[in-house]
């Protein structure tokens, strides 16, 4: 597991940029709407201020000259009633535009944000599906899912919420402060002093407390684990009569988790209250400074109210800015974790690879292979004639599954590891998809999708007719079992549906493979969970069905193996023997030993052999 | 987890079920309400301070009395500061301890529920109830309550202040309040609906990731990559639509509320302007009014949406309380509890020793979740010390007999006697304390190897643990681990292999020294050396005990004094190994097949 993977800074930006593409216009619109809305939002207090000063009182608003020149103050003063109507109307119009802009900001951000996260998720999924089998075995499912969900969410928050929030807040501070400065220097400076104090306080506090958050979160994880283990292990708990012990253990963890949060809450409470106190003090300072300035005649009443309003409006954004900035560091780690997946290499075909029909003999030519430093196959050579049935016998770890993986190109042979050819073409020169499409494979522990049985059986060819599916199910002897299910062919299986038994799963998987209609079929011990009678029935039906196809069987049962045209005995990664059934039982060796035991298992032998292993 | 739709009407009786849980916190709630009154009073005062500054200092162009004014202002803010700290702490206290109480009650209750409940309830469902629902309920009862309280206090206070300052102008503002409330009532359920949909789609996408990763090999061999990517993109496409829809509703709601509140401001400006021009209103009062008009609508909307969210809590409350109301199907009678104690407070001094003689007397049984009778008028006597093997195909129902003998389920009709007495005459814990159980997929708990073995006997010394481990060769596992006895086995023991886990769980059973031993044998292949250890361990455990072996391996089956053969849930044959072979029936078929497999494996492995 690559847990310390670091994505270079430049590639982090590139990763974000790649998924922003196509959504850039939404984000641009978000920022634009956001800034424009701030401008309009700043206008309402000014309208009120000017009204108070120029219409109700008879003063000059404390505004720069150019702004005063824009307003027909004398005309407004001429008829105060008319002026009030105009002011009220102006407030409505400005707020209406502001409302529309806020809607625009949120709606475009939603599109941009959803588009961004969709693009990222899709890319991850597509990439994961095309990563090598090797990669999949090396990484744990839970960890990958964590990266694809939680980490993606952190990145989304960073790009879509935090970045736009920072832009917005910075613009807001800039806008308000510059307006305030143009109105009254003293009051503005008093207000400005608080901005870095509040921002820093917020940021430093959050940074300091984040460790405690982590501890408290982990404590919650422990409670969950404790409950989960109790529920899954309920039989063990009951069988040992450990209910009391379990309750005590759970309570201890539950108490610890709650206490940690309550203690954390004490700190948070101080932080929240201090933040509020600081911002209230900021407003008070503006009121105090404004009062002094107004009394001195440097500030009009209306402008005083404007400054107080601006002062209060600045308080919250500054507080959240500090917090957002200290939170943003999380995104770097998440980008590393997601980047780890996206920069893994996908399966790739050679440039000269082409589509080839698998209608020749399959030849393993001096194949030597291993993984994790361990040799699995050692100089293995054999030929499977086209249209024949070929069986492989081997123990656990003999390398028989590796043979199959190599033929299906789940692993590729490197240079000097020999070659596998079909009809004379090295399979590395065949397009991977084309090759796999022509090889049908049933595994011992098959994987079914959380879909209906019909969709599972028709997985490779959703367009296949119902008749075709039914006949495949009949060959696999699973048609009756399907009919017995409550929803029949529409029964959903797997995690979100009905659990099938091992034998049923194997038979559904076999039907699925038959629908694929491949010229090469591999049965990797795929009837091990099926009882003897059914096994015989399936094999008979199969023989009818697969005429002309090349069939590879892997099994322990001599009765299964002996139907093959040729049998390969694999022992510790080497070819121990190869030949027809008749040849193999004619000479001493592993095959004959097994044949003797299995075929002569009469009662006496069962008892004797059984008595002395 | 599964997000069931609960679109039920508001039902007060469900909410009343919360009262006993809340009772403990009534004084804190009372203090919270008191604190909130103080907090809101200060909040309402701030515009008045502004008004005072304009009226007393700016309009009169004097700073006389300015310092006392500032001191009073500061004092109010500092008071608010302390009240606010207390308030947040109290709310956090309520949230966490209320959640803790509910989790504790649920967990404890779940320990008393019967296995039949666990058989039909997925673990994920239970976790969601115990963890998510409880924290949602606790969070809402704490923070949403505080929100509603503080917002409504402020609204009432601000309205009162406005009415006092100028009741005619106040009426103008009050007219807008119901408009905001109506808006919220219209929007909030729709927003909640779409949020729920987004959550649902989110878990669907997580599920799709899971399937795409665990099924990667199959997807590759079937060459379904593109199709599976298309399916995934369809799911994220749905998410996109729902996400945008949910956000747009929100995006529409907030500006609407803001617009109506600015309408109030405009009206105040107009009407108040008239009055000021006529000299009926001071400019200072007008400015305070405008501040109130701007500030009052957010709390109004807050109250309305918190209430809407609160109502949606009903489903969680229902799920939690109905789990707590779930009745166990296997229970001890009051007389039995009186004498032997319950699971949490056993009266061990009254327990008779258990010898291990078990008798099924005319037992008929069917599982509580329906279906047909799996046992009918079944009789079986198992003298103490007998080894019984149960054989049959996977999923044939081999555990039924064990479930009954261990009293995880009780017979539908008939009796099961232990040492000659109906086992319902004694407590479940009495029986369970005498059982050692080793599962097919052995279940370990997070923690060290030592802690896991000690589970069998909580007061065992380290020496006893070492001895038990040695008896079943579990010390070989310990020897391989870096930190020996104190090595962490990981969540559910996932840092150990199946074979290793099995050896540890054998040691656990040995330490418990049970009179009845149950082994559900593993089917998965285990390396030869470990296999040998396991066989020895089984021999050790069978000695002098009544044992049930749910067996897969011939070597295990052969150890039995009595073999029961199960097919399609029913016991079809019973007898000794030889008797059954001679019968040439189903057992013969099963056994010869297993024999063929194992002999081949043996030849190949050699």
CATH code: domain A362-587 is 3.40.50.300
- Per cent of chain A over pLDDT 70 is 94
Using the 8-state DSSP alphabet, how is residue A430 labeled?
B
What is the mean predicted confidence (pLDDT) over A117-134? 93
- The answer to whether the CB of B396 falls within 8 A of the CB of B567 is yes
Rounded mean pLDDT of B88-97? 94
Does residue B218 surpass a pLDDT of 90?
A: no
Instruction: Please judge whether B92 and A396 are an interchain contact, meaning their C-beta atoms are less than 8 angstroms apart.
Output: no
**Lookup: tokens for A560:** 């299964």
CA dihedral A95, A97, A102, A104 (to 10 degrees): 160
pLDDT at site A315 = 76
Give me the pLDDT at residue B605, please.
Answer: 62
Whether the CB of A512 is below 8 Å from some CB of chain B: the reply is yes
Check residue A198 and give its pLDDT.
Answer: 83
Residue of B nearest to A451 (CA): B211
Task: Place B1 in a pLDDT band, splitting at 50, 70 and 90.
Answer: very low
**Could you say which of B61, B269, B436 has the minimum Cβ distance to residue A88?**
B269
For the ranges B29-33, B449-453, B547-551, the lowest mean pLDDT is seen at B547-551
Q: Examine the pLDDT at A607 and tell me if it is beyond 60.
A: no
**B441 closest CA partner among B369, B511, B526, B541:** B526
Chain segment A374-424, per-residue pLDDT in tens: 788 889 999 999 988 899 988 766 788 889 889 999 888 888 889 999 988
pLDDT (0 to 100) of residue B221:
87
Measured CA to CA, the distance from residue A556 to residue A534 in angstroms comes to 17
Of B107, B209, B432, the CB nearest to A238: B432
Give me A447's structure tokens. 């994987």
Residues 549-588 of A with CB under 8 A from B: 556-558, 571
Question: Mean pLDDT throughout A7-15?
Answer: 88
Does the distance separating the beta carbons of B62 and A598 come in below 8 Å? no
B132 in contact with A at a CB cutoff of 8 Å? no
A211 close to B (CB below 8 A): no
Lookup: tokens for B384: 């103490």
Asked if residue A229 has pLDDT above 80, the reply is yes
pLDDT of residue B6: 52
Q: Could you give the percent of chain A with pLDDT greater than 90? A: 31
Q: Is the pLDDT of residue A2 over 80?
A: no
List CB contacts of B540: < 8 A, sequence separation 6 or more.
B471, B472, B510
CB contact under 8 A, B228 and A129: yes
Q: Which of A24-38, B203-217, B349-363 has the highest mean pLDDT?
A: A24-38
Q: Is the pLDDT confidence value at B446 over 60?
A: yes
Question: What's the pLDDT at A497?
Answer: 60
Residue B409 has which token pair?
């389920």
pTM: 0.81
CA distance B597 to chain A (A): 6
- B562 φ/ψ sector (left φ>0, alpha ψ -120 to 50, else beta): beta
The 3-state secondary structure of B189-249 reads: HHHHHHHHHHHHHHHHHHHHHHHHHHCHHHHHHCCCHHHHHHHHHHHHHHHHHHHHHHHHH
Each domain of chain A, given as residue ranges in start order, spans 1-176+331-345, 185-298, 362-587
Contact B269 A590 (CB under 8 A): no
According to CATH, the topology of domain A1-176+331-345 is: ABC transporter transmembrane region fold (1.20.1560)
Per-residue pLDDT, A97: 95
pLDDT in tens, A97-115: 999 999 999 999 999 999 9
**CB atoms A512 and B255 under 8 Å:** no
Contact B85 A273 (CB under 8 A): yes
Residue of B nearest to A107 (CA): B248
For chain B, what percent of residues have pLDDT higher than 90?
28
Closest Cα of chain B to A509: distance in Å? 10
Cα A394 to Cα A398: distance, rounded to the nearest angstrom = 6
**Cβ contact, residue pair B92, A250, below 8 Å:** no
Q: Where is A488: in which H helix or E strand?
A: none
Using CA atoms of A168, A174, A180, A186 in order, give the dihedral in degrees to the nearest 10: 130
Contact with chain B for residue A240, Cβ under 8 A: yes
B370-376 own/partner pairs: CB under 8 Å, 24+ apart:
B373/B412, B374/B400, B374/B569, B374/B570, B375/B400, B375/B404, B375/B411, B375/B570, B375/B571
At the fourth CATH level, the homologous superfamily of domain B16-325 is ABC transporter type 1, transmembrane domain (1.20.1560.10)
- Interchain pair A106, B290: CB under 8 A: no
Q: Which residues of A touch B222 (CB under 8 A)?
A: 436, 459-460, 512, 516
Average pLDDT of chain B is 86
**Cβ separation of B596 and A281 shorter than 8 Å?**
no
Q: Say yes or no: B408 contacts chain A, CB-CB below 8 A.
A: yes
**What does DSSP say about strands B435-438 and B516-520: parallel, antiparallel, or unpaired?**
parallel
pLDDT of residue B606: 47
A43 lies within 8 A of chain B by CB? no
Q: Is B311 on the interface with A (CB under 8 A)?
A: no
CATH architecture of B435-513: 3-Layer(aba) Sandwich (3.40)
Instruction: Return the number of other C-beta atoms located less than 10 Å from residue A608's C-beta.
Output: 10
ipTM of the complex: 0.84
B277 touches chain A (CB under 8 A): yes
Residues B555-565 have pLDDT tens digits of 778 878 999 98
Q: Which residue has the higher pLDDT, A546 or A28?
A: A28
Between A606 and B516, where is the model more confident? Answer: B516
Per DSSP bridges, beta strands A362-371 and A419-422 are antiparallel
Please judge whether A459 and B596 are an interchain contact, meaning their C-beta atoms are less than 8 angstroms apart.
no
The answer to whether residues B234 and B218 touch, using CB atoms and an 8 Å cutoff, is no
Lowest average pLDDT, out of A342-346, A451-455, B355-359, B548-552, goes to B548-552
Give the CA distances from residue B139 to residues A257, B95, B144, B146, B309, in Å, rounded to whole numbers and listed in that order.
15, 5, 7, 10, 12
pLDDT in tens, B93-135: 999 999 999 999 999 999 989 887 887 787 878 888 898 889 9
Q: In chain A, which residues have their Cβ closer than 8 Å to the Cβ of B273? A: 51, 55-56, 80, 84, 87-88
DSSP state of A157: I
Query: For B474-531, how does the pLDDT look when each residue is reduced to its tens digit (9 = 90+)?
Result: 888 888 888 888 888 887 777 787 778 888 988 998 888 888 988 887 665 566 677 7
**pLDDT at position A608, please?**
53
CB < 8 Å to A99, chain B = 255-256, 258-259
Q: Is A146 on the interface with B (CB under 8 A)?
A: no
Average pLDDT over residues A252-268: 92
Chain A nearest-CA distance from B61, in A, is: 5
- Exposure of B593 by Cβ count < 10 A (0-12 exposed, 13-18 middle, 19+ buried)? middle
Give the range among A174-178, B282-286, B596-600 with minimum mean pLDDT: B596-600
Question: Could you give the angle at the alpha carbon of A91 between the alpha carbons of A89 and A97, nearest 5°?
Answer: 100
pLDDT at B2: 41
Of the two residues A531 and B313, the one the predictor is more confident about is B313
All structural domains of chain B with their residue ranges: 16-325, 435-513
* Smallest Cα distance from A13 to chain B, Å: 23
Report the pLDDT value the prediction gives residue A613, as an integer from 0 to 100: 34
The predicted pLDDT at position A606 comes to 57
Contact A273 B84 (CB under 8 A): yes
Give tens-digit pLDDT for A189-206: 998 888 888 888 888 887
Contacts B80 to A, Cβ<8 Å:
276-277, 280
pLDDT score for B370: 65
What is the mean predicted confidence (pLDDT) over B246-267? 88
- Chain A, window 315-344: residues with a beta carbon less than 8 angstroms from a chain B beta carbon: none
Decide if B228 and A110 are in contact by the 8 Å CB cutoff. Answer: no
Q: Where are the alpha helices (DSSP H) in A492-531?
A: 502-516
């Amino acid at each position: 597991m690559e847990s310390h993977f670091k994505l270079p800074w430049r590639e982090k930006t590139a990763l974000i940029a790649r998924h922003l593409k196509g959504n850039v216009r939404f984000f641009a619109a978000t920022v634009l709407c956001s800034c424009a809305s701030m401008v309009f939002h700043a206008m309402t207090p000014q309208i009120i201020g000017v009204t108070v000063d120029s219409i109700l009182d008879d003063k000059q608003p404390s505004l720069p000259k150019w702004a005063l020149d824009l307003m027909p103050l004398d005309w407004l003063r001429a008829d105060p009633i008319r002026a009030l109507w105009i002011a009220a109307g102006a407030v409505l119009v400005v707020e209406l535009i502001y409302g529309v802009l806020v809607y625009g900001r949120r709606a475009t951000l939603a599109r941009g944000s959803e588009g961004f996260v969709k693009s990222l998720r899709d890319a991850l999924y597509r990439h994961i599906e095309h990563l090598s089998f090797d990669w999949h075995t090396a990484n744990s499912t839970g960890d990958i899912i964590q990266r694809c969900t939680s980490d993606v969410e952190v990145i989304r928050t960073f790009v879509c919420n935090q970045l736009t929030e920072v832009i917005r807040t910075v613009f807001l501070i800039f806008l308000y402060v510059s307006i305030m400065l143009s109105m009254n220097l003293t009051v503005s400076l008093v207000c400005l002093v608080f901005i870095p104090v509040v921002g820093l306080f917020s940021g430093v506090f959050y940074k300091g407390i984040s460790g405690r958050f982590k501890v408290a979160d982990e404590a919650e994880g422990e409670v969950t684990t404790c409950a989960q283990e109790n529920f899954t292990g309920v039989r063990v708990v009951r069988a040992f009569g450990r209910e009391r012990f379990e309750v005590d253990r759970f309570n201890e963890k539950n108490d610890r988790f709650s206490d940690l949060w309550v203690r954390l809450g004490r700190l948070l409470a101080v932080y929240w209250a201090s933040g509020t106190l600081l911002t209230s003090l900021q407003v008070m300072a503006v009121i105090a400074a404004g009062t002094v300035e107004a009394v001195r005649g440097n500030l009009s009443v209306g402008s005083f109210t404007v400054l107080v309003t601006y002062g209060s409006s600045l308080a919250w954004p500054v507080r959240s800015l500090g917090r957002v900035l200290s939170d943003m560091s999380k995104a770097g780690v998440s980008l590393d974790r997601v980047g780890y997946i996206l920069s893994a290499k996908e399966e790739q075909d050679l440039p000269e690879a082409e589509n080839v029909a698998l209608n020749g003999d399959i030849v393993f030519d001096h194949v030597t292979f291993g993984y994790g430093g361990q040799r699995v196959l050692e100089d293995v050579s054999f030929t499977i004639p086209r249209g024949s049935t070929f069986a492989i016998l081997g123990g656990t770890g003999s390398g028989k599954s590796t043979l199959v993986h190599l033929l299906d190109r789940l692993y590729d042979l490197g240079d000097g590891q020999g070659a596998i050819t079909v009809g004379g073409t090295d399979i590395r020169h065949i397009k991977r998809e084309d090759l796999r499409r022509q090889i049908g494979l049933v595994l011992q522990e098959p994987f079914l999708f959380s879909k209906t049985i019909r969709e599972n059986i028709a997985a490779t060819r959703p367009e296949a007719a119902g008749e075709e599916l039914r006949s495949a199910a009949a060959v696999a002897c699973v048609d009756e079992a399907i009919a017995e299910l409550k929803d029949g062919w529409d029964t959903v299986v797997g995690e979100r549906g009905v659990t099938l038994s091992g034998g049923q799963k194997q038979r559904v998987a076999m039907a699925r493979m038959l629908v694929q209609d491949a010229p090469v079929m591999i049965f990797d011990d795929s009837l091990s969970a099926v009882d003897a009678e059914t096994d015989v029935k399936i094999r008979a039906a199969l023989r009818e069905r697969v005429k002309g196809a090349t069939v590879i069987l892997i099994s322990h049962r001599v009765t299964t193996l002996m139907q093959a045209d040729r049998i390969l005995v694999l022992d510790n990664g080497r070819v121990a023997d190869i030949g027809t059934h008749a040849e193999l039982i004619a000479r001493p060796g592993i095959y004959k030993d097994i044949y003797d035991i299995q075929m002569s298992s009469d009662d006496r032998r069962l008892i004797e052999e059984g008595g002395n292993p | 987890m599964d997000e069931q739709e609960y679109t039920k009407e508001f039902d007060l009786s469900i909410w009343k079920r919360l009262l006993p849980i809340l009772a403990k916190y009534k004084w804190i709630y009372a203090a919270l309400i008191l604190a909130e009154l103080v907090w809101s009073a200060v909040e309402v005062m701030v515009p008045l301070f502004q008004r005072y500054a304009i009226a007393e200092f700016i309009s009169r162009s004097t700073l006389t009395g300015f310092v006392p004014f500032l001191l009073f202002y500061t004092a109010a803010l500092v008071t608010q500061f302390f009240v606010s700290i207390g308030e947040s702490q109290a709310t956090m206290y309520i949230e966490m301890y209320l959640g803790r109480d509910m989790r504790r009650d649920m967990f404890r209750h779940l320990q008393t529920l019967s296995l039949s409940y666990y058989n039909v309830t997925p673990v994920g469902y239970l976790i969601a109830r115990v963890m998510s629902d409880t924290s949602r309920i606790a969070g809402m009862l704490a923070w949403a309550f505080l929100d509603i309280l503080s917002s409504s206090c402020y609204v009432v206070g601000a309205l009162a202040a406005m009415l006092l300052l100028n009741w005619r102008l106040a009426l103008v503002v009050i007219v807008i309040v119901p408009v905001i409330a109506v808006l919220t009532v219209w929007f909030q359920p729709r927003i909640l609906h779409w949020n729920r949909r987004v959550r649902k789609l989110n878990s669907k996408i997580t599920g799709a990731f899971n399937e795409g990763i665990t099924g990667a090999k199959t997807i590759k061999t079937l060459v379904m990559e593109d199709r599976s990517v298309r399916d995934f993109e369809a799911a994220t496409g749905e998410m996109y639509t729902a996400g945008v829809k949910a956000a747009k509703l929100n995006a529409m709601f907030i500006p609407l509320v803001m617009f109506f509140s600015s309408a109030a401001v405009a009206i105040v400006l107009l009407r108040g302007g008239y009055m000021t021009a006529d000299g009926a209103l001071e400019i200072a009062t007008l400015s305070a009014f405008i501040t109130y008009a701007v500030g009052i609508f957010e709390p109004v909307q807050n109250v309305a949406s918190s209430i809407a969210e609160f109502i949606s809590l009903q489903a969680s409350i229902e799920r939690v309380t109905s789990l707590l109301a779930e009745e166990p199907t296997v229970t001890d009678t009051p007389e039995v509890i009186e004498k032997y104690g319950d699971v949490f407070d056993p009266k061990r001094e009254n327990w008779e020793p258990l010898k291990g003689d078990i008798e099924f007397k005319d037992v008929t049984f069917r599982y509580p979740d329906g279906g047909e009778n799996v046992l009918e008028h079944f009789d079986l006597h198992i003298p103490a010390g007998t080894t019984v093997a149960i054989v049959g195909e996977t999923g044939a129902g081999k555990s039924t007999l064990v479930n009954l003998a261990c009293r995880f389920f009780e017979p539908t009709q008939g009796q099961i006697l232990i040492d000659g007495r109906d086992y319902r005459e004694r407590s479940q814990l009495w029986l369970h304390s005498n059982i050692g159980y080793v599962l097919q997929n052995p279940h370990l708990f997070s923690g060290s190897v030592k802690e896991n073995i000690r589970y069998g006997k909580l007061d065992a010394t380290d020496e006893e643990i070492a001895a038990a481990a040695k008896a079943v060769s579990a010390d070989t596992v310990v020897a391989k681990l870096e930190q020996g006895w104190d090595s962490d086995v990981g969540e559910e023991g996932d840092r150990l292999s199946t074979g290793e886990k099995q050896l540890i769980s054998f040691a656990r059973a040995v330490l418990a020294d049970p009179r009845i031993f149950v082994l559900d044998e593993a089917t998965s292949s285990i390396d030869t050396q470990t296999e040998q250890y396991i066989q020895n361990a089984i021999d050790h455990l069978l000695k002098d005990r009544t044992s049930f072996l749910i067996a897969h391996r011939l070597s295990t089956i052969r150890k039995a004094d009595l073999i029961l053969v199960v097919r399609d849930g029913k016991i079809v044959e019973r007898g000794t190994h030889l008797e059954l072979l001679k019968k040439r029936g189903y057992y013969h078929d099963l056994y010869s097949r297993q024999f063929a497999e194992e002999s081949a494996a043996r030849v190949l492995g050699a």
